[in-house]
Chains A and B, each alone.
Chain A
Amino acid sequence: MAENDLNNPEIDIPDELKQQIAVTTLDRIYNWSRSNSLWPMMFGLACCAIEMICTAASRYDLSRFGMEVMRPSPRQADVMIVSGTVTKKMVPQIVRLYNQMSEPKYVIAMGACASGGGPFKEGYNVVPGVDKFIPVDVYVAGCPPTPQALLHGLITLQKKIEGEHIPDTRWYKKGEVEALPIPILGPDLMDPRHFELIREETHKPLPVVDVIIEGGETA
């Protein structure tokens, strides 16, 4: 956010006071401070992770935007960069990590695989987009996105945070936010909310089929 936007909440300040006081809204100062201290979570899944590491290194230097340190603990992280192919085996762990992150939390789907499955979209072991399981805020296209493209994605996320209004956001409303259901890897991914249905379907008695033997009676 430009400096002008931060202290310009459509309130006229007399000319003689302009150098002495600054007026802003709670939303703006709160979002401004929050968006400039986003700490990403340190985990990578596939080739996009290499680009993410490069973004954090000195050449592109993530910390210029206040994304100072990659936190290895989800409790201390604000933004989760899903960098790479999300396999069915990895989804339960990703959803669990997302649940463990403290609010406010954001998710960036980095690259084609994380946003929509990528080249493996119709594969047997890859999830067609991580947004089927966790809410994604920003999608970064590219395969893999270059460090600059990821930085552009992070700046886009900062813009989104700056536009937030405190009473509207999910985590400042009354009542508890329920944890996302963690899918379980069986023969395929199973949603725990569908267990009853799955049990019902699998415990049905097998249908009785009449077999007619040629020239004989019904068996």
Chain B
Amino acid sequence: MNGFGILKGLWITLRHFFDTYLSEFGRNRKKLPLDDQRGMVNSPGLFTIQYPEEVLAAPEEFRVIPFLVYEAGDYDQRKYRCTSCGICAKVCPTQCIYITRKKDAETGKPIPSPEEFYIDTDKCMNCGFCAEFCPFDAIKMNHDFELATYERGETHIFNKEKLGKPVEYYAKIRPVNYALEVAEKAEKAEKSTAA
């Protein structure tokens, strides 16, 4: 029927309008407490997010600048998962990653660990290719978007220390991905012990 599509579309707008009030009056309140509801991406109704006080909960696949995952070693040492293979630097469409490999001071042989790791955030376009292609799950996309600065010369090139985040942080911001990763690793370990 002609014109039916318009009515359907308008109904969606109207429903959102009603949801604004209905969610306050308890139609949806039974399902979720109001505070949680407002923070969700798909929360019903129209409302203003009171940003500095209230932050919209980021969906799990939200991407900003990548970070390097490390495991805490002895004496607060950071054991980076990165092996400096350079795949992320190769797939990066904007070529914003710069890595050099660590070398043994005595023998001069390469060690699978990054000596330097820089990301130029002025070039990074948050595509997430580095995280997708990394075979060691060493680089992941961060959720932290509060990156405004007064100058860009020093602060916009992130070094290894600034990029490093513990595994616990990764598990916190991406729980589903982390659980999958752990399960996959356990499966692999089981196979290798069986074989």
Interface residues of A (CB under 8 A from B): 58-61, 64, 109, 112, 115-119, 121, 129, 131, 137-143, 145-146, 148-149, 151-153, 155-156, 160
Contact = CB atoms under 8 A, between A and B. Distances in A.
Contacts of B150: 137-139, 156, 160
B33 interface: no
A123 to B, nearest CB: 11
Given A141-B65, A142-B145, A116 B52 contact: no
Contacts of B125: 112, 118-119, 143
Interface stretch (B43-51, B104-112, B159-167, B184-192): B43-51
**3 smallest beta-carbon distances between A and B, as pairs:** A116-B122, A153-B148, A141-B147
Interface string B141-154: 00001111111100
Interface residues of B, number: 29
Given A142-B64, A148-B49, A112 B145 contact: no
Interface of B: 46-52, 55-56, 64-65, 93-94, 120-126, 145-152, 156
Given A59-B48, A142-B126, A151-B51, A116 B93 contact: no
Given A142-B64, A151-B52, A116 B94 contact: no
Contact of B55 (A58, A148, A155): A148
Contacts of B121: 112, 141
